[in-house]
Each structure stands twice: as C-alpha cells, then as structure tokens.
Amino acid sequence: MKRRKLIGPLGRARTAGIRAMAAAIMGVVLTAALAGTAAAQNYPTRAIRIILPVAAGSTVDLVPRLLANGLAAELGQSIYIENRVGASGKLATVAAIQSPPDGYTVATMTAITHGLLPAFSSDLGYDPLKDLVPIVLLTATPVGFFVNAKVPVNSIAELADLIRANPGKLNYGTAGIGTGHHVTAAIFLSQAGLPQSAAVQIPYRGELPALTALMSGDVQFMITNVGKELVERGDLRILATTGQARWPRFPNVPTTAEVGYPNVQYTGWIGLAAPVGTPQPIIERLNAAANKALQDPQVQKVLTENGIVARGGTPAELADHIASEVARWKRLIAATGEKFE
C-alpha cells in the first residue's frame, strides 16, 4: 500500500522535528570528535603506564625498561612499568584491554600472548586480533638448539637420530608447559617424524633452573637463549638457531631452515599496543616515539649484547605479524597432536 505523504502544518512539524533530531545527533558526534582531537593534540599530559605480562628481570621486561628513557624524552612525560604476572600473560593482557583508551595505558604484546597462547588455549579470554590496537613491533629474539657438551651430536639432524635410536631416554628442559621452549621442541619432534614420547620434557619453574639442569646434564638439550660464553667455555654446544635469518650472536651457526627444518622457527618478539578506541593520532605519536627510541646507540648496544634484534615499523606491520604468527602456530601445533595446557 502506497504511503501517504503528510502535508500541511502536521507534515511540516514532523519534518522540522526530524531535522532538529539529526542536527542534535550530529552535534554530539562532532563535539565528541573535537574532544578526541583536542585530547590527542595535548597528549600526553601525565605519566604513561606500560603493563608487562612477566616478572622483572626477563628479556621481555628488559626491552620496555631500556626504552623508557627514550620514550619519556620524546613524549615529555615519565614512563612507568607495571609487572602483572599470572596465567601466562593473560592477566596483564586483559587488564590492558579493560583500561581507558586514552593513551595512558600501553600493553606489551609477546610471542606468547599473541602467538602461542591463541593457538592452543581453550580459555584465552581475549581476541588477539581485535582486542588491542597495535602500535609497533619493538624487538625479536631468536633462540638456539643447545645441548650439553657431553651429548655426542653436532647438528639437529644428528640430535633427531640420537633421539630415534634412544626413545624415551633423552630429556629436554623447558621453562614450563606451553612456553616457547616446550612448543618449539614439540614441533621439532613432529617435523623429525618422531612421537612426542621419544624425548621427555622436564618443565622447570623458569628458564634459569632449566638452563642450570642443561649445564649439569640433568637434561640433554634445550631450545633457549643463552650467552656465547657458555658455548665458548665448553659447557654447551649450539646446533642451530630458530630465526628467519642468522642470529647475530652466533653468526656462524645455521638456522633451522638452512638445515632442513623450516617450520621449526621461533622468535621471542615484543610489541606495544593500546586499548581499542585509542585515538589514531595517539597511536601514531607512540609509534614515532618508540621507533626513535629504538635508534638510540646505547639502546642498540644493550640489545645486541643480549642477543636481541631491534625491529620497529608501522602499526599495520605489527598487525600483519600477529595474524601471521597466530595462523602459523595453530597449524604447527595441530600437527603435533600435543596439548600445551
């Protein structure tokens, strides 16, 4: 049925009412937009908090603390670090997601919180692709396949053969179930055509006790990040590294891809992100400040000494990196048939 058009005073009144309502709505939207723009232009006016999902003293903790002075100098406000430990990084991530989107809370993303956990956790509590806005990829740290110096192998192919010949007799150390050390070792066994039971995982409460066990011979191999001095003095032997390119700390050691294990790849990366709704000008300001801080010669020196590779880049590049990481880990973890919770 054709709708009748109102004419006369009633029609004009209705039209005027609709126009007034539309104008009011547009006024609210415009006022909010102008307020957001003003806030972004004045940003920052107070201290900025960076939430970390790890305890003080780790590599993930080192990087933001190392960059804090440069960020503070560039932004004109102090930076303080809040270590919120628990649930493999979930607590810190959720706390950041629930913070006001005003640029005064910055989250630290890691290869665990936005790579491994989303690939196997049944109760993540957040969407790694949607619940935070990427700012910048700060650093990436490869790890190596290390064996106790008494283990008679010189390559990961030889390590696979030794495990195959001695099923269930070799132990490997990890910093805990579901860590990068654990998942990468499981993928190595899978890619080598070995069952997960072929080598026994010994989970420790942290990387340091696991490394101590490797040096003493309680475990025979471990995928981790250690200094050159342990190799140079003969305590450990390194077989391969897990980055896309050779690790500057061990430039003469081949990558896993070079020796036929392209899927055995792990990089402990660190990025910054903000709560959804943070104004884009603030994201861009934080991105520029972080990129500049990464270029400081003293920062570069300390990162290199710790085997850490500075990255930098755009928010879009970090978003692409996260999507790629989540998809890759899901595929590789599914192939192991292993549970990591």
Q: Is residue 38 part of a domain?
A: no
For the residues 80-107, what does the mean pLDDT come to? 95
Banded pLDDT at 19 (limits 50, 70, 90): low
Q: Which of 241, 259, 289 is the last residue in one of the domains?
A: 241
Q: What is the pLDDT of residue 25?
A: 54
pLDDT at 300 over 50: yes
Q: Do the beta carbons of residue 175 and residue 207 sit within 8 Å?
A: yes
Asked whether residue 117 is domain-assigned, the answer is yes
The per-residue pLDDT for range 144-155, each reduced to its tens digit, is: 999 999 999 999
Confidence of residue 239 (pLDDT cuts 50, 70, 90): very high
Residue 207 has pLDDT above 90, yes or no: no
Q: Is residue 137 part of a domain?
A: yes
Q: Is residue 59 within 8 Å of 92, Cβ to Cβ? A: no
- pLDDT tens, position by position, 272-298: 999 999 999 999 999 999 999 999 999
Q: How many domains does the chain have?
A: 2
Asked if the structure places residue 31 within a domain, the reply is: no
- Asked whether the predicted pLDDT for residue 29 surpasses 50, the reply is no
Structural domain boundaries enclosing 205: 144-241
What DSSP designation does 177 have? T
Provide the mean pLDDT of the chain: 90
Rounded to whole angstroms, the Cα distance separating 336 from 339 reads 9
Is residue 114 a part of any domain in this protein?
A: yes
Average pLDDT (99-118) is 96
Give the pair of three-digit tokens for residue 34.
Answer: 């102008």
Do the Cβ atoms of 138 and 313 come closer than 8 Å?
no
Residue 174 lies in a domain: yes
Residues 6+ positions from 311 with CB-CB distance below 8 Å: 137, 138, 139, 140, 269, 294
Beta bridge partners of 170: 199
**Same-domain pairing of 110 and 150:** no
- Which CATH number fits the domain that encloses residue 206? 3.40.190.10
Q: 330 and 271 share a domain? A: yes
Write down the H helix ranges in the chain: 8-42, 59-75, 90-97, 117-120, 156-165, 180-191, 207-216, 228-232, 280-294, 297-305, 315-336
In a domain, 63, yes or no: yes
Looking at the fold, whether 137 and 190 belong to one and the same domain comes out as no
Tens-place pLDDT, residues 73-85: 999 999 999 999 8
Are 123 and 69 members of one domain? yes
| The pLDDT value given to residue 276 | 98
Same domain, residue pair 154 and 290 = no
Span 235-256, average pLDDT: 95
105 and 61 belong to one structural domain: yes
252 token code pair = 């003469």
Same domain for 157 and 212, yes or no, is yes
| Whether 224 contacts 143, CB under 8 Å | yes
Q: Are residues 96 and 155 in the same domain?
A: no
Residue 78: CATH number of its domain: 3.40.190.150
